[in-house]
Structure 1
């Protein structure tokens, strides 16, 4: 960029480059899909040029900001989130409430705790709540660490036609009562659209209808399914105020190379969609799953800290997904200890912790 008195020359088309990344152009016009119908990280420019953990669009906009400030002679003030430099969105996809017995029994046997293993077996046989039936415990832990939780609840217990599992629980009156109590204590309930609903607005509406007249503000699709030619329209037609699906399952970082919420582009109408996308930055399974990064516990925080530094720099939102089953003490790889390390780093940086509804209210005033 060349600066002169009253003028600035940018020798690159940063607007087109920003639009290409932020709009998801590469996904919309690509035929590459994985077995879940998702645009794969391996086909992305982020992987090709190794910038997935860098919010390139924010840097492009920073160039424009510098030019505007120079020409106008006035500084553009950075966004603040309730007085904080950046925000964090702590979320939990609830895929299972009745699992975890096998994990607990194997852990006890591995440590020679035969009595505890027997007690777990008896608990399973007598119908005691499973180790992963832990919504209240998850909220207590996030509250202890200074954040409200947003619970993305799966509303279908029927497997998908291809056999992919959905929830192992049902949205019944007992569970709804628990969710209302969690909300009274500061949590948010959101939709975790079941496998297949990313292309089926009728099913998605039916699922959301199970929560009554209160309505749900946000959604994230199971398995992070997102078909760019259809899914944005489904989210908009279902009436959600925000979505938080757009992150790569295979790698932490910025799927659209941007660290702030944004309105997805509607390619058919050449305008913005009506809902806000709150990008997903890091998921527990990404960090250690055998198909993904396979980081050791001590490697997790050092790997993602530079990403948090970028979000802090640009006043963005750090969205963290930690499934409820990863709060099981038996998980020592991406478990409660690693979650606490991440939370403590975000707190040290001065993040304000908000629910999805609160983020929408901050940005949109509604």
Structure 2
């Protein structure tokens, strides 16, 4: 049952995550048996629950995990939630015998559930921008959104394999990556605004928000850009951002909106603008990355995603910009589990980095590794990779329930950084170029970059 799904999750876990050779033989059984051909007589039996779901229940609410989830204690991870699994006759999830280990945690089914965002194809609740929020997810409801649960499951699997075959198996080493990206929504503050509009914003900064520093910088921008010179614009932080990244030894990725679909939401620039072309060349010449930020109304419109990517490629070619890999992120994190990945694949993009929640930071996919994605409707693995977004600065600074500042905001971000580092994963951080106006924003950003020097 569900052979394409099983082939996919085995490939991701064994090949992509662990880097160990394997082969699959399908049998009519109610569990998964892992054996080592070099060491006969011992085996690992793993519970197989989720991928044996009845066809009539598949992609239905009845197939979702039952709350509250059961848990078990682990020496490293504390109480581990069981998304899918079953206890043995003795009431535990693990049992060791001389020739076998029994694991009641459905490692493969639970990982498949998280990596494919299965629940988002089943649960219909959405916010006003038609986004699946953190609070709708099983991870939030069961209090493990701040943990890369799939990574924990992988480590548990590896412990079991090492218990049985410590000399025969060798895991591929991984290196931690700090992946920093910037959605270019508003490259310039003054473009598209009248002097009166800017003066009203400046007045509101003082009277309503008490943000005198922000008001001063906007007033300074209004004065210095009056002749059309955008180098002094407060949102034009690109040179400074690249400078900070270069000092830290990392590359920044800048994702551009290439076409407007929602006036007032899709930025204030065109790829034909002289200043944008100059910026693209500077980014490329300094060794940083350029990517796509499909506009507001694209996440369910494949033709628009393809068209906007073509505009980016045409602009790059016209400016002698070449990259081996092209990726990006959906604007406003608008994404649909049943469609958007396929549209990115069809457009020819190499990776997506949309998958975080708009209301809270955390591990939406349950993992801090980049991985190949799977189309739940066509039941096919795609060439496209997902590079899960772990933290967006706005969810920490502005999100309801957080709204953190200063040291508290830094500690929140540092928690996720440390979780990713623990598993030699990817800490993906999104910071908008326009979110570096206030002193506390600049300070927090520098603290985030500084994590590389302190760890």
Same fold per superposition (TM over 0.5): yes
2:434 aligns to what SS in structure 1? helix
Q: Which of 1 and 2 has greater Rg? A: 2
Residue equivalent to 1:266: 375
Distance 2:369 2:219 in 1: 49
Pair 235,47 (structure 1): closer, same or farther in 2 beyond 3 Å: same
Q: Distance in 2 between matches of 1:237 and 1:11?
A: 39
The reply on whether 1:195 has 2:296 as its aligned counterpart is yes
Aligned counterpart, 2:393: 284
Trace 1:242-253 onto structure 2 (pairs within 5 A): 242-253=351-362
What residue in structure 1 maps to residue 448 of structure 2? 342
Relative to structure 1, the CA distance from residue 78 to residue 104 in structure 2 (aligned partners, 3 Å threshold; closer, same or farther) is farther
**Correspondent of 1:80 among 174, 186, 204:** 174
Please name the residue that 2:19 is paired with. Answer: none
Q: Which stretch of the first structure deviates more once superposed, 139-148 or 40-49?
A: 139-148
C-alpha spacing 1:73/1:209, structure 2 compared with 1 (3 Å): same
Unaligned runs of 5+ in 1: 350-366
Quote how far apart the aligned CAs of 1:109 are: 9.0
Q: Which residue of 1 aligns with 2:419?
A: 310
Instruction: Report the Cα distance in structure 1 between the residues aligned to 2:427 and 2:215, rounded to whole angstroms.
Output: 39
Larger displacement relative to structure 2 (72-81 or 286-295): 72-81
Structure 1 residues 134, 73: CA separation in 2 closer, same or farther (over 3 Å shift)?
Answer: closer
| Offset at residue 285 of structure 1 (A) | 0.6
Q: Following the alignment from structure 2 to structure 1, what is the Cα–Cα distance between the partners of residues 278 and 294? A: 20
Preserved contact between residue 147 and residue 419 of structure 2 (Cα < 8 Å): yes
Change beyond 3 A, Cα 1:58–1:128? same
Aligned match of 1:63 in 148, 152, 156?
156
Structure 1 match to 2:144: 51
> Is the 2:261–2:295 Cα contact (8 Å) retained in structure 1?
no
- Range with greater deviation from structure 2 (317-326 or 174-183): 174-183
| CA 1:69–1:240: 2 relative to 1, 3 Å | same
1:112 and 1:13 map into 2 onto residues whose CA distance is 52
Q: Could you tell me the TM-score, scaled by structure 2's length?
A: 0.69
2:123 paired with 1:30:
yes
SS at match of 1:339: helix
In the alignment of these two chains, the number of paired residues is 338
**SS of corresponding position for 2:383:** coil
In the superposition, the TM-score normalised over structure 1's length comes to 0.84
2:17 maps to what in 1? none
Mean CA deviation greater in 92-101 or 59-68: 92-101
Deviation digits for residues 71-99 of structure 1, max 9, x if unmatched?
Answer: 22235435323xxxx11100001110221
User: RMSD between aligned alpha carbons?
Assistant: 2.6
Could you say if the C-alpha distance between residues 154 and 71 of structure 1 is closer, same or farther in structure 2, counting changes exceeding 3 Å?
same
Q: Tell me how far apart the structure 2 counterparts of residues 111 and 220 of structure 1 sit (CA, whole Å).
A: 31
Query: How far 1:134 moved relative to its partner?
Result: 2.7
1:295 to 401, 404, 409: 404
Per the TM alignment, residue 278 of structure 1 is displaced from its structure 2 partner at its CA by 0.3
Is the alpha carbon distance of 1:73 and 1:198 closer, same or farther for their aligned partners in structure 2, counting shifts above 3 Å? same
2:426 matches 1:332: no
Task: Please tell me whether residue 42 in structure 1 is matched to residue 135 in structure 2.
Answer: yes
CA drift of 1:258 comes to 0.8
- Asked if the contact 1:138/1:327 (under 8 Å) is kept, the reply is no
Q: Distance in 2 between matches of 1:295 and 1:225?
A: 24
Are 2:188 and 1:98 aligned?
A: yes
Q: Which structure would you say has the larger RCO, counting Cα contacts within 8 Å and 6 or more residues apart?
A: 1
Paired residue for 2:101?
8
Q: Which residue of 1 aligns with 2:346?
A: 237
Residue by residue, what CA displacement relative to the aligned partner does 1:88-147 show, whole Å, maximum 9, x if unpaired? Answer: 100001110221666778579936998x87654333433231221232222112222332
